[in-house]
Chain A
Amino acid sequence: MEIRSRIFEKYTNYQCSIPLKDGDRVLVKGKKIKEGDLLLEKSESTLKKSINLPKVLNCKSNEGSEKYVLKMDGEYIEKGELLAQKVSSGRLNLTELFSPVSGVLDFSRIKQGYIDILGEERKSIVRSDFTGTINGVDPIEGLLISTDVVCIDGVVSSKTEDNLFGNLKILGDGNTILTEKILEDDYRGKIVWVGPYLYNRVAIELFERGAVAVLTYAMSYTEFREIGLPIMILGGFGSVHCDGSFLKKFLSFKNKFVIMNGNENQLFILSNSDFKHRGWFVSQYENQSVISRSPSTYGSIGKVLEYDRDTSFVLVDFGKRGTSLIHIGLLDFVDL
């Protein structure tokens, strides 16, 4: 039997938390919250500079570069002041990092290897774009809520200790492979969808500009292993086709709050949905949606035209991409 993979899974009353930072003020009144209600007053500062500590201090990926930092989170630092120092090769080698700008140090992304230097502070109001229940405010977890979410499975993601929380930011039209030239200055608080393919240098630029995490459909396995930053891949490695029928639904979640769970490769979007899931098991193959894992049509989503039980080969209609004869073992049945 074949199980139908639910690309967008609906979870009702999912319990999660919105992390709170110093200076954030909860504005929610009562237990119930609906779209448009006041959620938080956030105190945010302009990002003056992000420094990739392991890169500057030449640290190994598992070395833990934060131990070389000489300043404290929230401390003010002057331009040219010593920020971090690494002694190596039996005290023969000294690497020093001086602050390139004056500002307040923010270590909220230090586990990912980044130190942010912030400028002047400003207040902003965050409104809810979901319906749910407030279960409480916890000093460690943040604002505890239960709400309906949509879950998408990633193929792989960088392992992160905590869930990462942010707004889903779509780069460009979400369907074009982009270079770093089009990037804006500030991606703090954003989980960024870069499009169907991610190049290393775009990811690095996004993290330098404050992104919480980066989402893509595909990237090179080698680059994924090298980068060591919070990235989730939804499709696969290498040149993988990102099908329009997936993308159309995914892009409809633009600007929604999302939670990335790197340990379980799952992305939760805080959003109501009207998906009507079909049963788990495929009873009849004809006219079912499938995604191809065959090298020539990898990632394409199509409909089954015919199934030959004797040979286990399936004739699939991929629309504009034509029809292909594919072994059933190279097809995943999907519920879109």
Chain B
Amino acid sequence: MDILPVLKKNSYLTVLIKDNYISANLAYTDLSVQRTYVLSDRTDLSPLKFRLDDIVFNKEFWFEYFNSLEKVFDWDIIDREWGDNFKIKEFEREEVGVTGIKVIVDDNQPFFKNIFLSLKEFSKDIVLRILDDRYMEVLVKGLVNRLEYDDIVWLDLDFSHFSIYRGKKEKDGNIKFVLTKIDWANEIGLIDFVKSSKLNAFLSVDSSSEDILNRWANCIAHGYEYISDAMLNDIIRAFTTLQILSTKQSNKEKFDELGKLNTAIFISGKIPQLLEIRELLLSVIDGLELDGVFDLFVDRESKLFTYGRSMIEKEESESIVVLKGDILPKAIKLLIPEVPSKSKSKIIFSGKIYSQLLEPHEIYSLGSSLEIFKLPSRDEKLLIEGELKNGTVFSHLSFKQIQYISSKKVLEYEYLVIDGRSRPIVYGPSPHDNRVKLRIWGNGDKE
């Protein structure tokens, strides 16, 4: 018996070139037996530096790339009967062939033109697309509808480019899209920025020291992929907070009523790869001056960039039908209530995590701190319930009780975060003051 085309086995490779990374995601679906997954790989292009516009960066590079990718994914991608001409191996079954390859190149990627042309020369089989503002508009608007949020804010955070996109459902049902950006023209300006008094107000280390300047300069010049240095971590946190805050303050109209509707925040780019979860949360919450209830997604594997549009288009997708659970990163439930001054050191939230495998687990949160609860990941489903206590309320929401379900393959939550710090959040004036505040705000995470 024939099966519906949508249920047929399929696999597709989408490659994103952005922020000097090649992110490859190979999606496989066999909906007839509910077997779906996405294989991911990231390759840093930074070692190539300025050779990206030289003759050594040519179609042989791409041949070698796909050749190596085959080994990483343990999946046949290249049809070797064509020798040096790159042809896609037609899809046969799991681990053999793909129905197509799409390469998306970000228009902010250094040497965009050279990369694009080298791919064009490399193979006519590959579908080439450009990641630009229009691409993001379609993606953000589509996500508002597909994920049933009323408001989506997407922060794309790279050292040289900070972009914020927002899609908000209007009363007439249309989705209004706005965007705002900060671009650094060169690395030198970006390195020098660490000396600015504005940034200093957010730092908990003193940036005037020669050592810090050298470390920051090395970090920018070499494009680190991991930070083991507490000073650098602090600079990146402060830099991210200030960049987001400056963007918000100079574009107030684009951020009106943020958090008053059912809102999700998506984060992508290089900075979320470097910062620890606590530092990333502090940067985003304080940069956007959030209060209310949010779902937060960190797209570390660029799955939303590569398959977000397929997820939105569902069975009408030109590449492959993918499931929400395979594409959406694990979410963070973010609760930011208004804490009365009398409850600064009292319990402001108490709740329970109900799991299928474990006994119900009680949780509570104190005022003045940002508490992060890691949710158990073994269960298919979790129920999280809780209530604000001791006069704590959401400033523009009428409810005090929270109840939500974390479900694998649909919408899985990794963390519950309760920000009980008193508003407004004030940094500075000195790095020493910030050190004290950060210590109070981080008085222990719960797992």
Contacts and interface: CB of A to CB of B under 8 A. Distances in A.
B48 A238 contact: no
Interface stretch (A44-52, A79-87, A91-99, A324-332): A324-332
Interface string B46-63: 011111011110000100
Contacts of B192: 225
B228 A327 contact: yes
Contacts of B41: 1
Interface string B274-297: 000000000000000000000000
A11 B56 contact: yes
A330 B222 CA distance: 10
A1 B43 CA distance: 5
Given A236-B222, A328-B226, A222 B51 contact: no
B50 A2 contact: no
B74 to A, nearest CB: 13
Contact of B49 (A153, A225, A281, A295): A153
A312 B42 CA distance: 14
Contacts of A243: none
A223 B68 CA distance: 43
B221 interface: yes
A222 B213 CA distance: 8
Nearest to B192: A225
B256 interface: no
B47 A4 contact: yes
Interface in B191-221: 191-192, 210-211, 213-215, 217-218, 221
Interface string A1-41: 11111100101000000000000000000000000000000
B213 A156 contact: no
B99 to A, nearest CB: 23
Contacts of A330: 224-226, 228
A165 B222 CA distance: 26
Nearest to B22: A1
Contacts of B51: 6, 9, 151, 153
A6 B52 CA distance: 13
Nearest to B44: A3
Contact of A281 (B56, B65, B210, B213): B65
B332 to A, nearest CB: 22
Interface of A: 1-6, 9, 11, 151, 153, 155-156, 220-222, 225, 236-240, 264-266, 279-281, 283, 293-295, 298, 312, 327-330, 332-333
Interface of B: 41-45, 47-51, 53-56, 61, 64-65, 67-69, 71-72, 187-188, 191-192, 210-211, 213-215, 217-218, 221-222, 224-226, 228-229
17 contacts: A2-B44, A6-B51, A9-B51, A11-B54, A155-B222, A236-B217, A236-B218, A236-B221, A237-B215, A238-B214, A240-B218, A280-B61, A281-B68, A283-B68, A312-B226, A329-B224, A333-B47
